[in-house]
Amino acid sequence: MQITSDVYALDSTARSYAYLVLGPEPTLIDTSLPGSSAKILEEMREIGLEPSQLKHIVLTHHDVDHIGSASALRDATGATLWASQLDLPYILGERRRPGVKRLAEMLVKVPTPMIDKTYDDEGGSLPLEVIPTPGHTPGHAAFLYRDILFAGDLVTSKGMMLRPAPNMLTWDHTVLKASLRAVGTRQFEWVCPAHGQPIRRGQLWNQFV
């Protein structure tokens, strides 16, 4: 699904969207579930990007449906793999995920990826802006590219509505609400969540501010 001239929601990842941003430093945002890499690479080629041209893979947070194909895609493309320092222990398996996410990590086996860089140290060198948005997870990050917000699991969309991440899947509800308010002060036209369709912001974010 093409959103703008250089931004795509990858149809092969519709259950947990990964997004592709083209340009001088093509960047993949999230990697969907384990086993998604072949379809993602095929869709990249259909768009016109060879896997070796991908420069960055950025992870919004540690959930298994976002990091699932990170290791395979890093190996296949040679792209630099980025994550938040606060979510790194969960990504590397050094800390167990809390609540129902612990069950998810037991049921969905994710190859442990090698993280090359963290946003905390060098995020300014990415071709998009890193916005810390903790709450859903300790190190959740959103990304701003021109007038597009890549929201990860900060919000979901359904129909013409936006909703916060579900309470049962959220690490800290109070922190999440603060992140929603902070993001609301930023300027963007499109909201691209992992779950649900990309949607124009309009007045939808006003409910969070």
Query: Would you give the DSSP letter of residue 30?
Result: -
Please tell me the distance from the alpha carbon of residue 95 to that of residue 168, in angstroms, as a whole number: 19
Please tell me the distance from the alpha carbon of residue 20 to that of residue 17, in angstroms, as a whole number: 10
pLDDT (tens digit, 9 = 90+) per residue, 180-192?
A: 999 999 999 999 9
pLDDT (tens digit, 9 = 90+) per residue, 93-122?
A: 888 777 777 666 667 788 999 999 999 876
Domains of the chain from N-terminus onward? 2-208 (3.60.15.10)
pTM: 0.94
Nearest to 61 by CA among 117, 127, 136, 131: 136
Of residues 104 and 150, more confidently modeled: 150
